Structure 1
């Protein structure tokens, strides 16, 4: 090996250039004082560089060339430098103060005999003069590296032509204050975090809105499978249907770097789809396209749009991405249209809507018996029937399992089917190990599937693994930031961890955003009861009954709260009223909880055993109720927990 090669090493690095503004004129006025100040300043900055793992390569008169192992360290260091400079200048006269310009670039560098060479060094030196005195200027390459990893406000400065470089470069300004204080939510915008907003329905028939919404949902599903992209989920994107807000404001509310929007016009078997991709930071469209196709070609259009999104965001598609995008779930246009209708009504989360969805999915699989996604849709419908109490859990769970297995038999790469099967195994078969495995498989197939993160989190929560659960639920919230269901689940997790104030704050926010959300009043009443605020707890529980149309489960929740407040007579009156109902499904868990509050432990345990036999998923939440900790320590409950696989950890913390 030659001496030259042994002294040279190439790698990726972050390079910072600094320059003292006005030092030359200061030196010409009083060289001795200027040199003294420079020495003092070098000591201050040197300690800041080293605290961020920065290596001073060399000094350049009154400036530094510093190398960092990561762009994050370089930017955080630059912010601290400017803050130190503010402290350094305190008490000095204006003409005695000094300010620093900082430029940062990341790229290939070459280590040669202690020096650092390469394009990254040259570009950083050209970027530094673009910074304002006391400012920080960075390149697009740095922005891409630090996206989602720093809290400082980043402002685009546009494209600039730099000396000795072939073309213009995008440059940005870093402000040494958190983005929230600057009035811009969420910090730096990740260029690879994408929102697909609801496509406008321009069809002559307003009833064709299902098609536009279905296209939106399918595009979200398709684009989310591209490696390297984070895609906001459907629920949060749908909040911006027909929005009049500026797109850059939408982008900042969703904390996305790119927005895909468009329109759909369906007339008979002809479809026109227009789509355009906006880069939020630069407030510019980087791609737009219109497609005039037959309905039979709709899946081809989705593939083309997904590929164009990747290209517009400068992402190289991997072979596996291409294979996924080119895969067709059905070649039957009519079946696909029915599937879109099913997903539209399933998204309503109402009894009538879910019943309609079942009919459309059933018709879709009749037309195409190998349509795996439609079977997955049926599985999702029956999970809703079970979890919302619209059907006996055991029967609904069996149907959900059969449809999910059928979907996976046809297409084992379907993330949605793996997730549905996982939830069914947890909620209705008490098979936590296999359910976890299916949910992990769903996330492996689609890392942007927020629903799977949520279901995986609740699975861990049921087992008492609350800290792990909280992380997964918060990950789901990153993908679906406006979901009140996720926010409620986060509150439940906080409650189980004994963080009552945080849980109350979370539930209160959900209540404000969605006052009619099923069970939000129950969780609020539970926290209030734990805080001995029984009057407020009872009011919240009464509101639950009003919001849910006198549903038996809501009435039993109020009976439970009355027992906590010491009003057994009122609790018994409600319990007798509910137990007298005929031909109405009532959760045996809810009956058992109310009976426990009245001190009827034997009768209560009979209902809890029935809940286990019927696979009533409400039983999994029984472990969240602190008043019954003593009962749960008893031999009967411990044995029941072992039978249903729930004996792996503490259910809820008693810490307040």
Structure 2
């Protein structure tokens, strides 16, 4: 009985129809899963396709059993004689259909497994889980981290529907601009760009995305740009119910783009008010008419600024410069151009310090037109060179004007953390973590605050380890952790291990071999230090900071003639780059040390006058109103050191008077206590006042605070501490350091 039933099922092609149906259904489901997000259709379509496919399966089997396709049409199986049956011919056709469908499925499977990103579906989730492990200890009752009384939204990157894929920057820029407008609305928590854009080019589930980002609503959309016209489609979705609260399409000219952004944000507010019954206040952008070409260049600049590489920052600056030339009234383009200049200096992609003056001029122009621009004050806090109080003031004003912007929150917490108190600063970082849960840089920023403001190095160490876990390809995190080990925790060996690993990850980064040169010189391994310094120079031969480390190695090895030649050749070379504004003055410190050791006082003074023209004229000038007004602090201190060696104490006193503001209170602005390097700077100033006891006290404090970074060059090869060599307390300090180095060398050899 069973065998006859199976035979009849085979004869009527029921099995083949079932197989063909399942394969075809699978192909349709896969195509739908791709088409729905691409065409910006609602997610329920995927569910409907699967549901109807499942329901249709038993009907397909029933029709295969009960009916047969004949030349005369579809007939009941019972009405066809065995001689007239075409089941065998139909079966052969089904064989070809099944083979074809299986081939399509196989091709799709190979494409999916070989060419699609294996992390597209899981990376944001895994990243969120790791970042969530970054513990920001905070008072749970602090009002700064209380849940918003309104609602929350994430603006996902809009899909680029233009035929030209190079227009991706435009759709990204539109998404970001709408996000920025929404972020200014009180009682509306808006997920930051970095977290929302983590889902770019990934397959998403709205409810899962909303859960990870901690929001109740999601805005998604698409952008199609053709010439000077743009079509923007947007839809607002309630993540909990998958209900579409609102959707709309806009066809406009590009010079109306700001008005479109305002309309979208206003309609989102209306939708949320009507659906959720909450009180939200609409806000608008500048609503100005902008030249389409200038706006396009502005969005290109944004893309380069967010990519944040040397090359992309150069491209961003070029695009934004053109945008501001075409449309000088476009204030946000000026702000972003100023920020790009600042970022180029911060990253080290350029060392033209006049760029900061250009950035300052741009921001002043913006604030003269719009004195309430939070973005302008934020950028201004980035470009302040020396005045900490002014920097902190600008960061505070930016936060007052826009307390919802994550970059501004972090900047305010870092700059004014000491003034507002640890509890409030931690609360701000915690709030930033909530608004920007996928920001891989957040652990790094928090670690910087822990180091610079609180000096809580162990907590910073653990936080940075989490940052490395989140983004193991980012080499700056281990570099900064190595600096913490060497400058604050006295752990040279741990710093060496991180630098060696960083050099393997990025063999083209000269700062890792330079750091290794510093660390090995601290241990007393001068030849190895020289080897790494030369390796760093082989990568970047014109960087004065790197060359200076070779100078330090040569001096320690006793190769003083080579060191002097290298110093003079470097300063005379027009191609030499100075990564910091004070580095040129610090660079010749080694030469001054060698000349003073040889009692060549006149040569030392001539060297300083040659490389810092007009510096000796400052002796007879009145002191500046503030220390921040001095451009060449290191040059003044160096010249005072030479005058001290010559016994010209009156001149020393006048020069020291010019920098008398560099005391403990100056360094304590914005932080809980002094850092090791600041104790070292105080020791230099104290040495020029002939206060040996206080000088050694400061040096001991620097070492006690873990500052073993390049200590041989800073203590034994410094012109400021030559006279301390015979002091028993100084000798004891050096002996203590040598003992510690022997212990660390033993650990390194294990």
Matched, 1:344 2:297: no
Pair 1:274–1:615, CA change in 2 (3 A): farther
Over 3 Å counting, the alpha-carbon distance change for 1:434 and 1:188 in structure 2 is closer
Instruction: Check 1:633–1:533 CA distance in 2 against 1; reply closer, same or farther (3 A cut).
Output: closer
Checking the alignment, whether the CA contact within 8 Å between 1:191 and 1:257 is kept in structure 2 is: no
Other structure's SS at 2:520 match? helix
Equivalent residue number for residue 517 of structure 1? 474
**Corresponding residue of 1:278:** 237
**Structure 2 residue aligned with 1:419, among 351, 362, 378?**
378
Q: Which of 503, 526, 549 is the aligned partner of 2:460? A: 503
Q: Does 1:372 align with 2:331?
A: yes
1:636 corresponding residue in structure 2: 685
- C-alpha displacement of 1:192: 1.7
After superposition, what is the alpha-carbon deviation per residue over 1:23-69, rounded to whole angstroms, capped at 9, x for unaligned? xxxxxxxxxxxxxxxxxxxxxxxxxxxxxxxxxxxxxxxxxxxxxxx
CA–CA distance in structure 2, aligned partners of residues 197 and 593 of structure 1: 48
- Tell me the equivalent position of 1:384: 343
Distance change (3 Å), C-alpha of 1:211 and 1:274: same
Paired with 2:631 and 2:677, the residues of 1 have a C-alpha distance of 21
Aligned positions of 1:197-596 closer than 5 A: 197-314=156-273, 315-318=278-281, 321-322=282-283, 324-325=284-285, 327-392=286-351, 394-425=353-384, 428=385, 430-460=386-416, 469-496=425-452, 497-528=454-485, 534-547=492-505, 550-575=508-533, 577=537, 578-579=546-547, 583-587=575-579
Q: Rate the CA distance shift 1:267–1:652 in 2: closer, same or farther, 3 A.
A: farther
Trace 1:48-197 onto structure 2 (pairs within 5 A): 192-197=151-156
Alpha-carbon distance between aligned partners in 1 of 2:633 and 2:269, rounded to the nearest angstrom: 44
CA 1:596–1:615: 2 relative to 1, 3 Å = closer
Shift of 1:249: 0.9
For residue 347 of structure 1, report the CA deviation from its aligned partner.
1.3
Task: Output the CA distance in 2 between the equivalents of 1:267 and 1:357.
Answer: 23
The verdict on how the C-alpha distance between 1:236 and 1:629 changes in structure 2, with shifts beyond 3 A counting, is same
Q: Which runs of 5+ in 2 are unaligned?
A: 1-144, 538-545, 548-565, 598-607, 612-626, 635-666, 690-700, 707-750
Q: Which runs of 5 or more structure 1 residues have no equivalent in the other structure? A: 1-185, 641-649
The number of residue pairs the alignment matches comes to 451
User: How far is 1:369 from its partner?
Assistant: 1.7
Are the counterparts in 1 of residues 479 and 502 from structure 2 also a CA contact under 8 Å?
Answer: yes
Task: Answer with 376-385 or 459-468: which moved more.
Answer: 459-468
Q: Larger relative contact order (C-alpha < 8 A, sep ≥ 6)? A: 2
RMSD (CA atoms) = 4.4
In the TM superposition, what whole-angstrom CA distance separates every residue of 1:80-138 from its partner, at most 9, and x where no partner exists?
A: xxxxxxxxxxxxxxxxxxxxxxxxxxxxxxxxxxxxxxxxxxxxxxxxxxxxxxxxxxx
Q: Which has the larger radius of gyration?
A: 2
* 1:258/1:279 contact within 8 Å kept: yes
Instruction: Tell me the CA shift for residue 387 of structure 1.
Output: 0.5
Between Structure 1 and Structure 2, the one with more strand by share is: 1
Q: How far 1:571 moved relative to its partner?
A: 3.3
Distance 1:380 1:190, change over 3 A: same
Do 2:233 and 2:248's aligned partners in 1 also have CA atoms closer than 8 Å? yes
Q: Is the 8 A contact 1:556 1:594 kept in 2?
A: no
Tell me which protein shows more helix as a share of its residues: 2
1:545 and 1:551 in contact (8 A); partners too = yes
- Distance in 2 separating the partners of 1:538 and 1:292: 58
Deviations 1:411-443 (A, max 9, x none): 333221121112212xx1x22333333222222
The alpha-carbon deviation at position 203 of structure 1 amounts to: 0.7
Say whether the 8 Å CA contact 1:189–1:255 is kept in structure 2: no
Q: C-alpha offsets along residues 437-488 of structure 1, whole Å, 9 cap, x if unaligned? A: 3222222222221111222233236999766654444443333222222210
With normalisation by structure 2, the TM-score equals 0.53
Once the two structures are superposed, residues 270-310 of structure 1 have per-residue CA deviations (whole angstroms, 9 ceiling, x without a partner) of 22211111222333222222222222322221111101221
How far apart, in 2, do the equivalents of 1:467 and 1:394 lie?
A: 36
CA distance in 2, matches of 1:447, 1:638: 45
